[in-house]
Structure 1
């Protein structure tokens, strides 16, 4: 997958850090930046005091929408100074609709990037992740603070478990994998089986990547009772990886997605650039 359109979603109360990171990413990859500035509406008042505070609630919403418009203009000016190819839109949405709005916009990107400012939020990052990964099924790149923005990593660790999700993540990251100097396919507590890992866990995916020209090795690690995500992250640090590639997991519950343990861990505390796909 060649990354020609990068989506960056920011909250209207955020600073410029994530936007600058996304612009750096687009400049390095010669990609177009698609920006979505979001405001999440406060829930309407309910109960005995609803009629008393409804005017204040309406005034708050109006102020939020005005601030959203102002913030969009500020970001538009920031992007214009850099001269990056970009488009920008803004949305003021109810909480329950945020995932759908993100998902609709994400269908027209090659990858969405989530910077450290958004990762530090307590609610919007999950709406964005849910919309990108599940509503649009597009890849999501998590970029923690203090790491350079790149779509050309030199050392990649792939968390592999022979699932459809991990296969999709590898396929979406294939251009990066092909261009890397060192690719490590890592399996945690792999079990041999006819239908999944095969008689030699990791051999099939390694052969597939080698045919694409990737410089790949397979590593099988014991968990020692630790979470697989923690093992993968520690190993990525130990080998000085530039990026971790993983499948994203979750299941439906009404209109929301509950992320699996590894996916939640990465969203809560990524320590290096992490590429998620489902």
Structure 2
């Protein structure tokens, strides 16, 4: 399915880089741009459910709402000068449910673009990615600093582990994959049995994609005591990939937070634009 609406989220201390990046991607594929301005409300100093509300906290909240208004006004002016069709909304959620609030907006877009400014932030980045992946059912596109982002890449790497998440990422990116000159299905340390990658790892997904007109090849790689994320990033460089497609959080978020994982590593250091779905 082609992407017809792209969404990007911006915060009060961000510049205009992420919004302009999303606008360029919209121009590339003739899509509509939705921009969400978010300021996450500061909790009371005595705790989120403190019985006594201090004047200082109330003053802080008022200042935050003014920041939200200023940022929304600045983005609105920029969108009026843009060539793409666009809409603007804003939210001032409490920290504990900010990801849910963001996720509700993400549901009405085909893809959420998470640009370099958002990736460089901390708390808001976590809320945007969690909202996008867990509260929307939609894919996200991570674009690191200095990376060239395009939704019409010529060479794409698909990180395949035969999981539901990877399958969904492939399905969400079919329009991109069918337009590429080369799509490489990459399987790290494949397990050859029916419960994992099948008798011939990568053959099933390659057949599925070829029926959609995708020019596909399968690369089966050993990890050789390196992390899967590092192997994927290295292979992306070696093959000149412009985009990586992968499933996100095959394990629980708690397990990834404690032990690490491919998703966590790619979010922290994508290396190239990465389309994730869950």
TM-score, normalised by the number of residues in structure 2: 0.94
Superposition RMSD in Å: 1.9
- The aligned counterpart of 1:120 is 120
Alignment partner of 1:137 is 2:133: no
Whether the 8 Å CA contact 1:24–1:149 is kept in 2: the answer is no
Instruction: Confirm or deny: 8 A CA contact 2:256 2:264 kept in the other structure.
Output: no
2:188 is the alignment partner of 1:188: yes
Structure 1's consecutive aligned runs of 4 or more residues displaced over 6 angstroms after TM superposition are 50-53
Distance apart, 1:109 and its partner CA: 0.6
Q: 1:257/1:237 Cα in 2 relative to 1: closer, same or farther (>3 Å)?
A: closer
Per-residue deviation, 1:21: 0.4
Q: Deviations over 1:113-156 (max 9, x none)?
A: 00000000111111111111111111000011222331111100
In structure 2, the partner of 1:56 is 56
- 1:267 paired residue number: 267
Contact 1:206 / 1:218 at 8 angstroms: preserved in 2?
yes
Paired with 2:23 and 2:56, the residues of 1 have a C-alpha distance of 38
Q: How many residues align?
A: 274
Query: Where in structure 2 are the equivalents of 1:196-211 lying within 5 Å?
Result: 196-211=196-211
- Deviation string for 1:153-197 (max 9, x for gaps)? 110000001111100000000000000000000000001002331
- In 2, Cα distance between the equivalents of 1:44 and 1:6? 34
Helix, strand or coil: the match of 1:9?
strand
Q: Distance in 1 between matches of 2:91 and 2:97?
A: 11
Task: Give the corresponding residue for 1:147.
Answer: 147
Cα distance in 1, alignment partners of residues 257 and 179 from structure 2 = 34
What is the DSSP-based 3-state SS (H/G/I as helix, E as strand, rest coil) of the residue aligned with 2:244? strand
User: TM-score, normalized by length of structure 1?
Assistant: 0.94
* Equivalent in the alignment of 1:234: 234
Aligned residue in 2 for 1:71: 71
Residues 177-223 of structure 1: CA deviation (Å, up to 9, x unaligned): 00000000000000100233111000110111111111111000000
Moved more, 71-80 or 140-149: 140-149
Q: Does 1:176 align with 2:176?
A: yes
2:233 maps to 1:225: no
Cα–Cα, structure 1 residues 173 and 81, in superposed 2: closer, same or farther, change >3 Å? same
Structure 1 residues 257, 93: closer, same or farther in 2, change over 3 A? farther
CA drift of 1:52 comes to 9.5
Where do residues 93-108 of structure 1 align in structure 2 (5 Å cutoff)? 93-108=93-108
Runs of 5+ consecutive residues of structure 1 not aligned to the other structure: none
